[in-house]
Structure 1
Amino acid sequence: MKKKKLGTLILSALLLIGVLAGCGNSADGGNKSAAGSLDAIKKRGKLIVGVFSDKPPFGFTDEKGNYIGFDNDLAKRFAKDLLGDESKVEFVPVEPASRIPYLQSDKVDLILANMTVTDARKEQVDFTNPTMKVATQVLVSDKSGIKTLDDLKGKKIIVTKGTTADIYLTEHRKDVELIKYDKNTESLQALKDGRGDGYAQDNFILISWAKDNPGFHLIDEKLEKEAPIAPAVKKGNTELRDWVNKELQTLGKEHYLIELYNKYVKDALGADTDPYEVITEDGKI
């Protein structure tokens, strides 16, 4: 009887070990059906992408509510090449501060929302190769008298929460008062209403907005040196990251990013801007 019980206990232990081993494979990425994996995306039949809905020319919606713009069109192309149909993409609107949490909680497979690559963000997500490069500047009213970054001392500067401008000014400019909003549109409206002396953001966004809103100009000096912008995946999702990198190489041969630049960005930045000063075709910077 004792031998029978001992055999039963040993068998139960072996079964438990097998179950735990299987769980371990899922946790460390061994499970190909893990959220965000290529297998899971294909079984689901759609690519879920976090994008901006209010940040032209990169991510915004038209009068019918369709998601368009540089990043959003790129997401459609990813869906077409991965799943055979550009409509097999689900757009999830994000704000700058929610981009990383949405990846970490598996609400999205991929972020295509004009995210600048920084060392701090690299610790939380995995970036693919870049699609463009950008600098952070400050937009001010022509009547403000502000001409240099030194002139910002003691001023009220508007930022959108979670942006590189927000992070940089919070850490390095204790001499300015930051006014923070969740949305880019809220920040721009606050600047227009005079609720702040300037708005710090990616220069592409500011240049585009200033063209349609006379009376504002960029301070020539940049807050930080030029940095790459890239799609991002959940930390450890090397499978999707590597697929995007190969896809960017393929699209580079077609000059697809330049096509998107000409469609959405060229008019915003002006015809005299060299697109290769902005775009990183082939994922190379």
Structure 2
Amino acid sequence: MSMKKVVSLVFSVLLLAGVLAGCGSSTNETKADQTAKSSIEEIKQRGTIRIGVFSDKPPFGFVDANGKNQGFDVFLAKRFAKDLLGDESKVEFVLVEAASRVEFLQANKVDIIMANFTVTDERKQKVDFANPYMKVALGVVSPSGEPITSVEQLKGKKLIVNKGTTAETYFTKNHPDIELLKYDQNTEAFEALKDKRGAALAHDNTLLFAWAKENAGYTVGISTLGSQDTIAPAVKKGNKELLDWINNELETLGKENYVHKAYEETLKPAYGETINPEDIVVEGGKLK
């Protein structure tokens, strides 16, 4: 074969490879674009929006005696379904644990997580958070007869936490010398406290205030620990379409003070007059 033909053949092969690679890249990009653009359309075609919530964290997310999902997060989730699909009953509640929230989003088991999900830098690497609807900090609850009022009192004692929570992360990072008893479910953790397996329990202060009010003999001795954080809906990383819809929805709901309405319906009965709603509620997705 002449040198001219060899060069021509090599050029043709390279050109064909380039065209195929370009087509493959274009196809992949198109598929990615379609996936990103069709998330809401997929929800509409399915006819339900799948929202991850807790089953055992009253008054935020729990299953009542009739098997119905109730709570602050649930109240807001139903409104999301109504505004997106025209009917609040078109929400499919998927029960999650604290440690499974990220996994459920990544595995496409849910469209949105609204299980009292605190925004952290670590979690931002794995999921996309919308704007917040709630403020929160850590707290510590303990028996009234042996109250824990400072972290120093926990040295040499066992502290109960839930796996996958900011309480676990905070104490692991800042107080590694404190022994942690870790549980998957909230019910397990609080039973451990009642059984005196630990000296105290650390969790979101918003949950502890309500729990201590319902359970005589316990007090939130440390009402605020660490920095104030926010709680927000979360979607799968890269799902900008659904993320933008949620942010617009929160802004729209803010114009009617809907998160305050959710507070009145679900949290005030648990807190009574002991809590100022402005210390918890974030309206319109924006901190004041």
The alignment's TM-score, normalised by the length of structure 2, stands at: 0.90
Equivalent residues of 1:32, 1:40 under 8 A apart: no
Given the alignment of the two structures, is residue 52 of structure 1 paired with residue 54 of structure 2, yes or no? yes
Aligned to 2:212: 210
Identity %: 52
Given the alignment of the two structures, is residue 91 of structure 1 paired with residue 93 of structure 2, yes or no? yes
Matched position secondary structure for 1:228 = strand
Letter in 2 for 1:201: H
Shift of 1:19: 4.8
Aligned pairs for 1:168-183 (under 5 A) are 168-183=170-185
Equivalent residues of 1:33, 1:40 under 8 A apart: no
Equivalent residues of 1:124, 1:235 under 8 A apart: yes
Shift of 1:26: 2.1
RMSD across aligned positions (CA): 2.2
> Highest CA radius of gyration, 1 or 2?
2
Aligned pairs for 1:93-132 (under 5 A) are 93-132=95-134
Matched position secondary structure for 2:108 = coil
Aligned to 1:3: none
Shift of 1:265: 0.7
- Structure 1's unaligned 5+ residue stretches are 1-5
Q: Per the alignment, do residues 185 and 143 of structure 1 end up closer, same or farther by CA in structure 2, a change over 3 Å counting?
A: same
Matched position secondary structure for 2:270 = helix
Shift of 1:32: 4.8
Aligned to 1:26: 31
Counterpart CA distance in 2 for 1:266 and 1:228 is 19
- The CA deviation string for residues 210-235 of structure 1, in whole angstroms up to 9 with x for no partner, is 11111111123532111111000111
Aligned residues: 279
Shift of 1:143: 2.2
Given the alignment of the two structures, is residue 63 of structure 1 paired with residue 65 of structure 2, yes or no? yes
Larger CA deviation: 135-144 vs 159-168:
135-144
Aligned to 1:229: 231
Letter in 1 for 2:139: Q
Aligned to 1:277: 279
Shift of 1:269: 2.2
Aligned to 1:248: 250
Which residue, 70, 74, 95 being the options, matches 2:76? 74
Equivalent residues of 1:149, 1:221 under 8 A apart: no
Matched position secondary structure for 1:282 = coil
Counterpart CA distance in 1 for 2:16 and 2:174 is 62
- The CA deviation string for residues 246-265 of structure 1, in whole angstroms up to 9 with x for no partner, is 10111111111111101111
Letter in 2 for 1:26: K
- The CA deviation string for residues 87-106 of structure 1, in whole angstroms up to 9 with x for no partner, is 11111100000001111111
Counterpart CA distance in 2 for 1:113 and 1:265 is 15
Shift of 1:24: 2.8
Counterpart CA distance in 2 for 1:212 and 1:164 is 23
Counterpart CA distance in 2 for 1:41 and 1:21 is 26
Counterpart CA distance in 1 for 2:249 and 2:209 is 29
Shift of 1:11: 8.2
Equivalent residues of 1:117, 1:230 under 8 A apart: yes
Matched position secondary structure for 1:283 = coil
Counterpart CA distance in 2 for 1:51 and 1:31 is 25
Q: Per the alignment, do residues 174 and 13 of structure 1 end up closer, same or farther by CA in structure 2, a change over 3 Å counting?
A: closer
Matched position secondary structure for 1:222 = strand
Equivalent residues of 2:72, 2:262 under 8 A apart: yes
Counterpart CA distance in 1 for 2:223 and 2:93 is 35
Equivalent residues of 2:141, 2:148 under 8 A apart: no
Larger CA deviation: 16-25 vs 219-228:
16-25
Aligned to 2:193: 191
Equivalent residues of 1:157, 1:199 under 8 A apart: yes
Counterpart CA distance in 2 for 1:270 and 1:149 is 28
Letter in 1 for 2:117: M
Counterpart CA distance in 1 for 2:126 and 2:29 is 22
